[in-house]
Each structure stands twice: as C-alpha cells, then as structure tokens.
Amino acid sequence: MGNVNINIQKTSDSDYLTSFKLCESGVLDNSKPTSDFPKQSLTIFDQNIRGLKNKLEEFMNNIATNPPHVLCLTEHHLETNQLNSIHIQNYKLGAHFCRTNFRNGGVCIYIHESLQFSNVDTQKYCKEKDFEACTVKLSLQTSTISIVNLYRSPLGNFDCFLVELETLLNSISRDSKRLVICGDFNVNFNDDTPTGDH
C-alpha cells in the first residue's frame, strides 16, 4: 500500500480553524494547510456545525479558499428530507444519520465529487443522543480508507457510546485496515476520575 497523508481541519466554531497533517508515521504536524497537496494527500474538514441550514452560506465561504476532499459535520439539526435538499457545490452527500424522535443532533459526511466512495450502513448501531454515526469508504488509487463521523450528546449515555463504538469499529475493521474517526464525542478527556463527567 502507498503512503497517504491525511490533513484534518478540526473546527469547534466557524471562526476557529486548526489543521493537522497525519502522516503514515503517525506524527501530527500542525503546519498550515496548502492548496497544492501531493496527489496522495486527503483533506478532511470536521466541524460541529450546530445547525447547517442557517449557516450554509457562512460554511461554504469558510471552505471556498481551500476546499477539502471530505466534510464531516455533526449536529446538522436536519431531518432526512431537509438534508437531502441541501446542495454543497462540488460535493455529494456520502452518508448521514438524522434523528426522528428528538430535535437537533445528527451527523453527515459530504465527499468531493472527484472521489469514489461507498456508503457503509451504520444505522443499526445508532441510538439518538447516545451514539449517532455515519460512515463512508473511500476508494483511493493506492488504498481504501473508511471515515466514521460520530456524535454523542452531552446528555447521552457514555457506556452505550463505548459499546456501540466498539461494535462498529469491529465491523468496519474486517473490511478496512485504514480508518479515520471524526466527530464530537462530548467527552472530557482531562478528567480521569471515576466519577468525573464524560
């Protein structure tokens, strides 16, 4: 298999952008991304959008100067029919999860139209608020990469999240050795006490 550099642009708010480049060596490099990536690079933009419909224009302006290959969005706040009606120029909706019982939440992955991909059905693992997921498998020239986008509400059951995550990853790893996980887990990694907030 060839080398694939993965550049992840993680944003927590629309005006804050940090990028990381994950090389095959596993080293994170926080250098500024450039538009002239080598042919074997993959750029993933990951953001908790907190309502895609009302922020679509701002979002599109945000990615216009350096369009990524993959857009991973959490908390899109849309129903399936609403999400299917959203058009992001040069991108296809690759996978999504929309809530049916509760408001807000949801996850989606948009793929640049130049890439080949397939949707991996993850609906059976999803539980609203606890574990919301969608997955695509990208077919690149030298390898296949699965991209998982996850969301867990701050009110979600953390134990359920871990069980479903393990089950999903075990399922995906049978078909794909390369995996990128994006999303908003609402986990406080700085609190390692047994009673600390997750």
Mean pLDDT on 38-60: 88
**Mean pLDDT to the nearest integer, 169-173:** 93
Higher-pLDDT residue of 31, 189:
189
From the list 134, 141, 143, 142, the residue with the least C-alpha distance to 172 is: 134
Q: Residue 16 pLDDT more than 60?
A: no
Summarize pLDDT for 129-164 with one digit per residue, the tens: 999 999 999 998 888 999 999 999 999 999 999 999
pLDDT at 63: 92
Q: What is the pLDDT of residues 85-115, one digit of tens each?
A: 999 999 999 999 999 999 999 999 999 999 9
Predicted pLDDT at 28: 35
Average pLDDT of span 20-31: 36
- Mean pLDDT lowest among 22-26, 130-134, 150-154, 188-192: 22-26
Distances (CA, A) of 195 to 90, 155, 188, 198: 46, 15, 12, 9
DSSP secondary structure, 61-121, as one string: HHHHSS--SEEEEE-----HHHHHT---TTEEEEEEE--SSSSS--EEEEEETTSEEEEE-
* CATH architecture of the domain covering 5-184: 4-Layer Sandwich (3.60)
pLDDT at 32: 38
Spatial contact of 25 and 60, defined as CB atoms under 8 Å apart: no
pTM for the full predicted model: 0.81
pLDDT at 40: 58
Task: State residue 5's pLDDT score.
Answer: 63
- pLDDT over 80 (residue 170): yes
Identify the pLDDT of residue 1: 43
Mean pLDDT of the chain, nearest integer? 83
Integer angstrom CA distances of residue 194 from 73, 154, 191: 30, 17, 9
Furthest CA-CA distance within the chain: 47
Q: What is the pLDDT of residue 21?
A: 37
Amino acid at 131: F
